[in-house]
Amino acid sequence: MNLFLANKTLDEILPESVFSTPAVSIRVDDTLGDAASLLPHHLETLTDSLVATSNDKPVGIVGGIEVLEGIIKNQTPGFLDKAKIGDVMSKKLVIVNPKTKFSELAKQWSQTRRAFAIIPNQYHGYSVISARKILDVGVLFKTNTTISVVPRRKIATFHKYDTVRQIIQRMFDNKTRKLVLDGTDSFISDRIIIQKLVREFNCLRDGRDFLETGSDIFSLEQAKRASEDLTITEACRIMQEMRSPYLMSNEKTISPWDIISVLAFENLS
- Digit-coded pLDDT (tens) for 14-40: 988 889 899 999 999 999 999 999 988
Name which residue leads in pLDDT, 207 or 150: 150
- Say yes or no to pLDDT of 48 above 50: yes
Q: What are phi and psi of 248, to 5 degrees?
A: -145, 130
**What angle do helix axes 64-73 and 190-199 make, rounded to 10 degrees?**
60
87: amino acid identity, one letter: D
User: What contacts 214, CB < 8 A, 6 or more positions away?
Assistant: 161, 162, 163, 164
Segment 178-190 mean pLDDT: 96
Higher pLDDT, 232 or 267: 232
Decide if 32 contacts 67 (C-beta within 8 A).
Answer: yes
> How many other C-beta atoms lie within 10 A of the C-beta of residue 91?
9
pTM of the model as a whole? 0.91
Q: Is the pLDDT of residue 232 over 60?
A: yes
CA distance 211 to 42: 23
| Structural domains in the chain, sorted by start | 3-132 (3.10.580.10), 147-265 (3.10.580.10)
- Which helix (H) or strand (E) is 254 found in, with range? strand 253-254
